[in-house]
Copies of this chain bind each other. A is one copy, B any other.
Amino acid sequence: MPDQKLITVALADDHVLLRDALAYLISSFNNCQVLFTAANGQEVIDRVKGGNHPDVIIMDLNMPEVDGHTTTQWLRDNHPDIHVMMLTMYDSELTLIRMLQVGAKGFLKKDIHPDELKFAIQSVVESGYYYTNSVTGKLVNLFRNSPDEKIVMRNMLTDQEAQFLRFCCSEMTYKEIAVEMGLSPRSVESVRDELFLRMGVKSRVGLAMYAIRHGLATF
C-alpha cells in the first residue's frame, strides 16, 4: 500500500531531549510527519494561530506557562478538528475525567511501548479517539461501582477545588487563600474538609501531594 495519507503530528513537552527523542521516533513511523514541537501550551497556541494545523497534538500535562489542560480546552473551543492526546505520568480517574471534560481524544501513559504510540496516532486519526483498555477499564469501574452517581462525582473537581488545591501547594495560610479566592476563611476550610474526605487524606501536606501527583499544580 504505497503512500497512505501522511499524518501530521505536533509535540508539546517542556523537556527538549525527550521531545526531540519522541519526534525522532515518530518521524521513523512511515506514515507520520512531525509538523512542529513546542515547549509549552502558549507555544502550541501561537503555532496553531499562525496557521500550523496538525492532525494530532501529543501534549504533556505538566508544562510551564500554560499547561496541557488549559491548552486542550483552548483547542477544543477554537480548533475542534485537531485531535489532542495527553501524555501523562499518572492515569488516575481524576486526571482522566478532567482531560475528557476539556476534550482530550486519547491518553498515553509515559510507560507505554513505542508500537502502541504508533497505533494510537493512527487510531485517533481514523476513529477520532484512542483509549487503552486500562483507561476504558477505569471509566467502566467508575460507573459499575456506583449504584448512585455520587461515586462518580467523588472523582471530579470543581474549578474552585482545583484552584484551592493549587494554593495548597504554596506557603499561603488558609486565611490568605480565602482572600485570594474571595471566600470567608471558614468557607475555605469547608472546601478543604470536603477534599480531605474525598481524597482520603488528613492534612494539608496530603492535599498538596495529591495535587502534585495528579498534575493539578506545577512544581
Q: In chain A, residues 1-55, which have Cβ atoms closer than 8 Å to a Cβ of chain B?
A: 14-18, 20-22, 24-25, 28, 39
**Number of chain A residues whose Cβ lies closer than 8 Å to a Cβ of chain B:** 37
A24-B114, A205-B205, A219-B213 as given contacts; A17 in contact with B108, CB under 8 Å: yes
Q: Which residues of B contact A202 (CB under 8 A)?
A: 171
* Pair B110/A205 contact, Cβ less than 8 Å: no
A113 touches B20 (CB 8 A): yes
**Cβ-closest chain B residue relative to A210:** B219
Chain B positions within 8 Å of A117 at CB level: 17
A-B contact pairs, 24 of them (CB 8 A): A15-B89, A15-B110, A16-B110, A16-B111, A16-B112, A17-B108, A17-B109, A17-B110, A17-B111, A17-B114, A18-B18, A18-B22, A18-B110, A20-B113, A24-B24, A24-B25, A25-B25, A168-B205, A169-B209, A171-B201, A204-B205, A205-B208, A208-B209, A212-B212
Binding site for B on A (CB under 8 A): 14-18, 20-22, 24-25, 28, 39, 87, 89, 108-114, 117, 168-171, 201-206, 208-209, 212-213, 219
